[in-house]
Amino acid sequence: MHDKLSTTPLRHALRRSAAATLSALSVFSVFAVTAALASSAYAAAPTPMKPGVYEEVVRGNNGPLTVRVTLTADRIEAVAIGDNYETDYIALEPMKNVATEVVRRQRLDVDTVSGATESTTALLRAVFQAVTEAGGDLNDFLKAGAVDPATLPGKTVKADVVVVGGGGSGLTAALTAAKAGKKVLLIEKHETLGGSTALACCSLSKPSSLDTGDATPAGEALRKTEPQLLALLSELGVNFKNDNAGSLAVEGMVLVKKLEDAARAAGVEMLTSTALYKIERADGSDGAVTRVLAQDGATRYEVDAPAVVLATGGFAYDIERVISTMPRWTALTPFATAAKTSTGDGIRIAETAGAAVFEDAHVIAGGLGARYAELDRAVALSGGIPNGVLVNGRGVRFVNEAVPDLTEKAAMEDITWVIFDAADAKRAETFSKYLTFEVVVDATDWLTLARRMGVHAETLAQTMKTYNEGVA
């Protein structure tokens, strides 16, 4: 049940979301955070970069974070932390450690640090930006090795099923095949398993909430497989928590560990730090896959198998593919919450082998978030926004705010604002700190608020009028 939103003096408008009765209003834009998974590839030689010192400013946990990245033609020479608003005793040492690892290993898939995840992720994002700005190829700092696989000693492996990709999907596929009595080999290009699943708080739909009327192939598949997946995970002893009326939640790392342990116990052989670089198919009309080729920098693996499962995920950090398939998301790729190995190379290898790629690329929106952590704490988005109003960049309300998961809907909008009650003095005080950060605006009437939001004034006024009449 929505409370009526009044047109009495508005206080703040801020980029994000909120809930309460609106007598004095605030608005804030929401960022729909994208997510994707991972894959792998081989490149013969690194792409030359323009040498220099690149100063990048990214969004840290508490505000802008400046990072100076020194690059040569083929190396990340230094990563220095500049001006920032991070909490020293929490984030400074972890950021320094991550910077040291990037330079030492010449890799960008360095693990972030628990407890300082936002800060260390921001630092890595800055290095990503610097490499891209210098004309470099991110894959040069993400692949499993830069040697030519043809020069490596070969090893032939036989399996009934090969699974490429060790995230949640790959581990589930490997376990399922092993439970069916198959000899399974799993190949993962990163040194650890988990992919983006390990970074997530996984949410699964309850069977009772799946009858949404979605008649698409994806909707049908969800209704068929979700109960099966829940049964499998329950069998493994995964304990779920109710996060809202329609979902069950579990930490991603917990899920990965349960799946990994079960897969190893079922006899799945696993090769980590091993990158797929070619899929071979038989001659003839059916063109069946006969083997896959992978390498770990020391050994070339020639894996003969009649069945291959590609679970290499998506392409959050494949800028070229993002630009070509979903250009409106390009500017948000630095904010992706996918594993840093999500470079789309598994998809490219599959295309080279003649695989058909689903053309309607889809963004997995992992969550809604304001620009700064303090705003996130001031306004929670989980469980829907039953008393707030979400409008898009045109000033049009586009979703029922009471639904538990608003992310997918918000992800399809160019920008999202939330109108809320600024009568809450404590919350309003927090928002007032960010009036100069271009994420919060305020006004005393709908038309002025719309102008400051940058949306069509008459449209917003009509949206709010319609809303108020509907809840009267």
Res 304: pLDDT: 94
Q: Which three-class secondary structure state does DSSP give residue 369?
A: strand
If phi over 0 gives left and psi between -120 and 50 gives alpha, with beta otherwise, what is residue 447?
alpha
Query: Tokens in use for 151?
Result: 């020069």
If we measure between CA atoms, which residue out of 371, 408, 392 comes closest to residue 459? 392
**Bridge-partner residues for 290, per DSSP?**
none
Res 362: pLDDT: 63
Per-chain mean pLDDT for the chain:
78
- CATH 3.50.50.60 is the classification of domain 149-312: yes
For the structural domain made of 52-141, what CATH number should be given?
Answer: 3.90.1010.20
> Per-residue pLDDT tens for 313-353?
888 888 788 878 777 666 666 667 788 788 888 888 988 88
> Per-residue pLDDT tens for 290-312?
899 999 888 999 999 989 999 99
Residue 186 has phi, psi (to 5 degrees) of -110, 130
Distance, CA of 99 to CA of 416 (rounded, Å): 34
Amino acid letter, residue 43: A
Query: Tokens in use for 104?
Result: 């030492």
Distance, CA of 336 to CA of 317 (rounded, Å): 8
CB 187 within 8 Å of CB 163: yes
If we measure between CA atoms, which residue out of 39, 275, 41 comes closest to residue 167? 39
Distance, CA of 275 to CA of 297 (rounded, Å): 9
Which residue positions in the chain have pLDDT lower than 70? 1-45, 114, 143-146, 201-223, 242-248, 284-286, 328-335, 359-371, 379-387, 403-405, 407-408, 411, 436-438, 472
Query: Tokens in use for 184?
Result: 């399974």
Question: What CA–CA distances, in Å, run from 273 to 88, 189, 193, 294, 336?
Answer: 33, 4, 10, 10, 23
Question: Where would I find the H helices in 51-179?
Answer: 93-105, 117-133, 168-179
Q: Indicate the angle between helix axes 93-105 and 117-133, nearest 10 degrees.
A: 40
Res 13: pLDDT: 43
Distance, CA of 383 to CA of 380 (rounded, Å): 9
**Bridge-partner residues for 30, per DSSP?**
416
In what helix (H) or strand (E) does residue 348 lie, and over which residues does it extend? helix 345-352
CB 6 within 8 Å of CB 23: yes
If we measure between CA atoms, which residue out of 431, 189, 215 comes closest to residue 295? 189
Fold agreement (13-35+364-471, 52-141): no
CB 435 within 8 Å of CB 441: yes
Residue ranges of the domains in the chain?
A: 13-35+364-471, 52-141, 149-312
Res 208: pLDDT: 54
Rounded to the nearest 5 percent, the helix, strand and coil shares of the chain are: 35, 25, 45
For the structural domain made of 13-35+364-471, what CATH number should be given?
Answer: 3.90.700
